[in-house]
Chain A
Amino acid sequence: MSPQRIRTLKELAKHAILLGILFFSFVPFALMLVISFKDNDQFVANPWLPDAISSWHWENWIKGWNTVGPYIANSIVTSLGAVILCLALAIPASYVIARYRFRGRELVYYGFILTMFLPGGAAALVTTFKMMSSLSLVNSLWALVILGGVGGQISCIFILRQFIEDIPKELFESAEMDGAGHFRQMWSIMLPLSGPILGTLAIMNFLGTWNNLIMPMILLRDDAKLTIPVGLMRLDGEYVKMWGELMAGYSIAAIPLVVLFLFSTRMFVRGLTAGAVKG
């Protein structure tokens, strides 16, 4: 075999491996979509492949929507609010920590980082709940916004600090000599240069709040205020499981984020790779 052929074969092998891995990664989601159009009998008879399109149960999606749909708005509001809060807190803080050396800087920084190692968990759940009820934020979406934003800022600061420190300091200094104040330097130098990473951090934070189950479960009372994960748990908890509806509900819960992703693929993939370098 010529070296040329061998090289082509090698490339093909790589494609085969990756496609194999991706196949297994996507099987669950493909099955989710397939099953979402079946009723229970069809599901038991043939869980793997789609049936003839005429026998698809579109009404599963309607029922799924009826269960999950009302919660979507709540989820969007809380996640978006958390992202905005998180960035509003993290950007100035990481700007100062990355750019200036002053007494107490490391102390502040490690004050943030240390929380990554706190056990949190169940013990802090109780006291957090207590705190929220003393602020009368129980059963309020604000509580989730605050917790999502404040919790999310830590990793934001961690990554942004490293990122800003890698921006040549001459750029900031040059802007400073040109007459730019702190906010102007953040706005005109730091934000444009850390665009992809900021977007990625935003999406990660969005996802974190979106996926959070425990907090909303503990904090929210009114049915009208629940977020998607809680809604999904309700679907899952029904005694007689209608698998089709369940899967339709899952799909509906997944779709907003996939759409969000499709709009921001380029930035997200780039930002993730760049951010990953910083660890």
Chain B
Amino acid sequence: MADIELIKLKKVYDNGYVAVKPSDLKINDKEFMVLVGPSGCGKTTSLRMIAGLESISDGEIRIGGRRVNEVQPKNRDIAMVFQSYALYPHLTVYENMAFALRLRKVPPREIHEQIVQAAEMLSLTSQLEKLPKALSGGQRQRVALGRAIVRKPQAFLFDEPLSNLDAKLRGEMRYELRSLQQRLATTAVYVTHDQIEAMTLGDRITVMSVGEIQQVAPPRVVYDWPFNRFVAGFIGTPPMNFLPGILKDAGGSWSAQIAGHAVPLAMPNRDNLGKARDSEIVMGIRPENLHVAANAPAGSPSMDMKIDVVEHMGDHQYVYLRADGLPDTIIMKAPGAVELAVGQVARIHLDTTRAHIFQGRGEHAPNITLPPGFPQQQ
């Protein structure tokens, strides 16, 4: 069992492409850390550097306090589950799981016990003599897990292990993975671009974008206090709405000038707003913080919007709204019972106690409504 530490870790590929910019990250012992980010942001590269399968351009990796830059992958005592599973096609499930143990000269009796135990845990007991090609996708996935488990490594690395499964199976495996990790209590680094997986699996989440770490925090914190606009937009479905505007200070009470409306701001941490007085900002507000309010009073933060599309999901519905002067469609999550007609103009209340203000219009614009001293990594 060990913690993993990345210190100023950097990766430059032979063609000069900087896949990972110098990043620091500490993954605690027994922690389930999820690396999440859009495609091509350097997640796999980081993971493969931890595994020792990719050379390190600069910086350092420590596992259990030991520098491992020069350590061969086989001596790092780490198990990896590949996206394609990488099951040895010519070996049975049993032999696949036994492969690493045999190389380690583990006595056959012990190997057998380990495999039987792991197979039971993963309900693979009846599949042990089959070849990988005779298994279903979910079963292959579990064999890949089993192969990692029997080694009892210091840490697990997962590279999008669920992305080849269908939606239902993915849900089930997510649950199994989580309970497995809790039982085994082993450090795990899990790479995904699916933010639902990130939210449900991780003890903490690391959000990456173009080779840089944007925020590290437990899922709830990332959701509630996104460090910058990128994190805010990436975590949560449907994504947060962004409304560009100008920040105004009306004698101690802050408001945002959005599409001709003055929207009074009521979030708890407004001490930093002074930096962006009278300049461009983006207000971020999640779909669940928009409400239909037919008779909202004039001074309240509300706007008239036209209903474009309604997606009914049963107990709730997603409403796509358009408002004059706003570049993007606004998404609102409303209770399923509310009757809404396409084409109708509705008065929408913006719950600005739960909104965020991002300074500037950039993709990575910082959140200036975080609690004081809020760390990027926690």
Binding site for B on A (CB under 8 A): 101, 168, 170-171, 173-181, 184, 188-189, 192-193
Q: Does B100 contact A (CB under 8 A)?
A: yes
Nearest CB of B to A3, in Å: 37
Provide the bound-state CA to CA distance between A174 and B53, in Å. Answer: 10
Does the CB pair B99–A173 fall under 8 Å? no
Contact with A along B88-109 (1 / 0, CB 8 A): 1110000000011001100000
Nearest CB of B to A183, in Å: 12
Nearest CB of B to A27, in Å: 42
Provide the bound-state CA to CA distance between A179 and B14, in Å. Answer: 27
Q: Does B78 contact A (CB under 8 A)?
A: yes
25 contacts between A and B (CB under 8 A): A168-B84, A171-B88, A173-B51, A173-B82, A173-B86, A174-B80, A174-B86, A174-B147, A175-B88, A176-B53, A176-B72, A176-B74, A177-B53, A177-B73, A177-B80, A178-B74, A178-B103, A179-B100, A181-B74, A184-B103, A188-B88, A188-B99, A192-B90, A193-B89, A193-B90
Nearest residue, chain B, Cβ from A101: B14
Nearest residue, chain B, Cβ from A193: B90
Does the CB pair A177–B99 fall under 8 Å? no
Q: Does B248 contact A (CB under 8 A)?
A: no
Nearest CB of B to A164, in Å: 14
Residues in chain B near residue A171, CB distance under 8 A: 86, 88
Provide the bound-state CA to CA distance between A173 and B78, in Å. Answer: 12
Residues in chain A near residue B78, CB distance under 8 A: 177
Residues in chain A near residue B76, CB distance under 8 A: 177
Does the CB pair B103–A180 fall under 8 Å? yes
Q: Does B283 contact A (CB under 8 A)?
A: no
Nearest residue, chain B, Cβ from A181: B74
Nearest CB of A to B103, in Å: 4
The 6 nearest A-B residue pairs measured at CB: A178-B100, A170-B86, A179-B74, A192-B90, A174-B86, A179-B103
Provide the bound-state CA to CA distance between A168 and B90, in Å. Answer: 13
Q: Does B79 contact A (CB under 8 A)?
A: yes
Nearest residue, chain A, Cβ from B104: A179
Q: Does B349 contact A (CB under 8 A)?
A: no
Does the CB pair B79–A170 fall under 8 Å? no
Among the interface residues A168, A170, A179, A180, which one has the most CB atoms of the partner chain B within 10 A?
Answer: A179
Residues in chain A near residue B10, CB distance under 8 A: none
Q: Does B193 contact A (CB under 8 A)?
A: no
Q: Does B151 contact A (CB under 8 A)?
A: yes
Among the interface residues A177, A178, A179, which one has the most CB atoms of the partner chain B within 10 A?
Answer: A177
Number of A-B contacts (CB under 8 A): 53
From A170, A177, A189, B74 is in contact (CB under 8 Å) with A177
Provide the bound-state CA to CA distance between A175 and B151, in Å. Answer: 12
Residues in chain B near residue A181, CB distance under 8 A: 74
Among the interface residues A168, A173, A189, A192, which one has the most CB atoms of the partner chain B within 10 A?
Answer: A173
Does the CB pair B99–A175 fall under 8 Å? yes
Provide the bound-state CA to CA distance between A188 and B103, in Å. Answer: 11
Does the CB pair A180–B89 fall under 8 Å? no
Residues in chain B near residue A184, CB distance under 8 A: 103
Provide the bound-state CA to CA distance between A177 and B155, in Å. Answer: 12
Within 8 A of A (CB), among B142-160: 147, 151
Provide the bound-state CA to CA distance between A180 and B151, in Å. Answer: 14
Provide the bound-state CA to CA distance between A211 and B74, in Å. Answer: 46
Residues in chain A near residue B90, CB distance under 8 A: 192-193
Residues in chain B near residue A193, CB distance under 8 A: 89-90
Among the interface residues B51, B72, B73, B151, which one has the most CB atoms of the partner chain A within 10 A?
Answer: B73
Does the CB pair A173–B103 fall under 8 Å? no
Provide the bound-state CA to CA distance between A142 and B298, in Å. Answer: 102
Residues in chain B near residue A189, CB distance under 8 A: 88
Nearest residue, chain B, Cβ from A189: B88
Residues in chain B near residue A173, CB distance under 8 A: 51, 53, 73, 80, 82, 86
Known contacts A173-B73, A184-B103; is-contact A178 B86 (Cβ 8 Å): no
Nearest residue, chain A, Cβ from B96: A174
Residues in chain A near residue B86, CB distance under 8 A: 168, 170-171, 173-174
Nearest CB of A to B246, in Å: 51
Nearest residue, chain B, Cβ from A171: B86
Within 8 A of A (CB), among B122-153: 147, 151
Provide the bound-state CA to CA distance between A224 and B273, in Å. Answer: 100
Provide the bound-state CA to CA distance between A101 and B52, in Å. Answer: 16
Residues in chain B near residue A179, CB distance under 8 A: 74, 100, 103-104
Nearest residue, chain A, Cβ from B53: A173
Provide the bound-state CA to CA distance between A168 and B72, in Å. Answer: 20
Does the CB pair B79–A177 fall under 8 Å? yes
Provide the bound-state CA to CA distance between A171 and B147, in Å. Answer: 13
Provide the bound-state CA to CA distance between A170 and B14, in Å. Answer: 20
Nearest CB of B to A186, in Å: 14
Residues in chain A near residue B52, CB distance under 8 A: 177
Identify 12 new A-B residue pairs, CB closer than 8 A, beyond the known A170-B82, A173-B51, A176-B53: A176-B73, A177-B73, A177-B78, A178-B74, A178-B99, A178-B103, A178-B151, A179-B100, A179-B103, A179-B104, A180-B103, A184-B103
Known contacts A176-B53, A193-B89; is-contact A170 B84 (Cβ 8 Å): yes
Does the CB pair A177–B88 fall under 8 Å? no
Nearest residue, chain A, Cβ from B72: A176
Nearest CB of B to A38, in Å: 51
Nearest residue, chain B, Cβ from A177: B73
Provide the bound-state CA to CA distance between A192 and B131, in Å. Answer: 14
Residues in chain B near residue A101, CB distance under 8 A: 14
Provide the bound-state CA to CA distance between A101 and B15, in Å. Answer: 13
Contact with A along B282-307 (1 / 0, CB 8 A): 00000000000000000000000000
Provide the bound-state CA to CA distance between A181 and B72, in Å. Answer: 10
Residues in chain A near residue B82, CB distance under 8 A: 170, 173-174
Provide the bound-state CA to CA distance between A175 and B99, in Å. Answer: 8
